[in-house]
Structure 1
């Protein structure tokens, strides 16, 4: 209808998904390790870096903080240039192979992830020729490596810049984009109870970590409550979750379900500082797995030697356990309790009772998954040129 659109291809469960996941698994730890000094994982790591910057005496009243954003980075990557930067990145950091795979093969696999993405629209098949597909794990890693090439010279110049000693005060708070709508998972949605509790507690934990002043925290706490009220969360549920979160810092006789003075607020960031965020834990785990893999450091002269690697046998964590999952619905709120009761009644006084029963639930498929057609119609996928050639061959043979 004359409205310009830019398609964003989603490759979840697509033919290239497994290749993308594998490349991300073996290359992202390398990026995490080699670029950890120039990568901000989340808001908490940024605040920690700023405090370290202050301790060095580099923070002044004239210090400027500059940010910039590359629009549509993942879907606008120049494919050939990104592949060349990938090989350069691995080569610069001493890799001739990754997990025994030569860099030429790594580049070929990455090319498949980038270029072999097609979609059907209006009975025509289109191929993505710029950038990578959304939902592909390796697209994110490749985009980060591409930016490594871009900011390498900038980082070198920043390291050479001398700064004078000065004093200053760092003030931080939670930032909300002006155009962002105050939406979270609605309370009326079909999710288990603990999901709603975790969402509220995560918001409070972020507010504690990001707020440098008690007043900033109180402002954010009010914003959090109003946001959840807007999304249908009962006030009683919010207050109960608040009280549970602050239980170690407020009196059980307190009428208010939150901190009412600055002293306990100053204690909470200290208690939470020893708890890494989910993103930080993931990065640390990936780097830890990488440090045990030194195959790329073996010299050519040593490659002819034979090594016997004896792997420790890991115990089977699923042994003597029976795990059952069901799609969560509110009408099944007693399902877990009922299944445990039936299991106990049925297998009492039998050897099976020694098996541990684990009953879990999965969330319902969201609207996007329900509406997206993952496979086009058979008629569109049929190669009409070959079909016509076969028909002509049959006619000529007759």
Structure 2
């Protein structure tokens, strides 16, 4: 969960470092006031109880997503993280990061331990091995050659999207993941067969 006050400080640092004295005509002072309102005034009612969010931001909010990326921008500038990020490619989606590391396992464990000391609210959960998942990819390292599969979460139902679904239309086009994510023909054929069986299973 994003620490609210610290996130606002990091937002100001980000805007000033990138020379955004005004953003679309809005001065930094006003942007920070609006950000404060969005973070500090998030509330909801459940039954007859009123709740106000004191850590993090509203889930699914475009602002919370942007702020999380800015928070990670600050995190990536930390000296211990630079060991990873400047030595290797590291795709990142918000707080999910994938990287390869050609050093002993103990060294990366030490880096992750330091990263976990960055903030009490931010804890990294590492998956270290020759086969790991990253978002909806399953990445396998066999003798230095990476193969990519579609990653299916263990609790996922065997369907493209849930049977009762209010997903936007573009989500339904995600079935092309089988083609995009399969790095070799054999993997693609296996995924294609699984996909056909899933469609048959669902009628």
TM-score range with shorter-chain normalisation? 0.5 to 0.7
Q: TM-score, normalised by structure 2?
A: 0.61
Q: Give the structure with the larger strand fraction.
A: 2
| Distance in structure 2 (CA, Å) of the matches to 1:160 and 1:135 | 30
> Residues 177 and 124 (structure 1 numbering): CA distance in 2 closer, same or farther, change over 3 Å?
closer
Is residue 202 from structure 1 mapped to residue 183 from structure 2 by the alignment?
A: no
Secondary structure of the residue aligned to 2:54 is: coil
Greater RCO between the two (CA within 8 Å, min separation 6)? 1
Please give the per-residue CA displacement for 1:213-256, whole angstroms capped at 9, x wherever unaligned.
111011111221222333x33xxxxxxxxxxxxxxxxxxxxxxx
> Residues 146 and 207 (structure 1 numbering): CA distance in 2 closer, same or farther, change over 3 Å?
same
Is residue 217 from structure 1 mapped to residue 142 from structure 2 by the alignment?
A: no
Please tell me whether Structure 1 or Structure 2 has the larger radius of gyration of its CA atoms: 1
> Residues 135 and 103 (structure 1 numbering): CA distance in 2 closer, same or farther, change over 3 Å?
same
Secondary structure of the residue aligned to 1:131 is: coil
Per the alignment, residue 115 of structure 1 pairs with 40
> Number of paired residues?
148
Q: TM-score, normalised by structure 1?
A: 0.33
Unaligned 5+ residue runs, structure 1?
1-75, 234-398
| Distance in structure 1 (CA, Å) of the matches to 2:86 and 2:58 | 37
| Distance in structure 1 (CA, Å) of the matches to 2:184 and 2:70 | 36
Conserved in 1, the CA contact under 8 Å of 2:147 and 2:184? yes
> Residues 190 and 95 (structure 1 numbering): CA distance in 2 closer, same or farther, change over 3 Å?
closer
| Distance in structure 2 (CA, Å) of the matches to 1:168 and 1:115 | 48
Secondary structure of the residue aligned to 1:170 is: strand
Q: Which runs of 4+ in 1 moved over 4 A?
A: 159-164
Secondary structure of the residue aligned to 2:149 is: coil
Unaligned 5+ residue runs, structure 2?
89-100, 103-142
> Residues 117 and 186 (structure 1 numbering): CA distance in 2 closer, same or farther, change over 3 Å?
closer
> What is the deviation of 1:155?
4.8
1:171 corresponds, among 147, 168, 173, to: 147
Per the alignment, residue 157 of structure 1 pairs with 83
RMSD: 3.1
Secondary structure of the residue aligned to 2:190 is: helix
| Distance in structure 1 (CA, Å) of the matches to 2:49 and 2:151 | 44
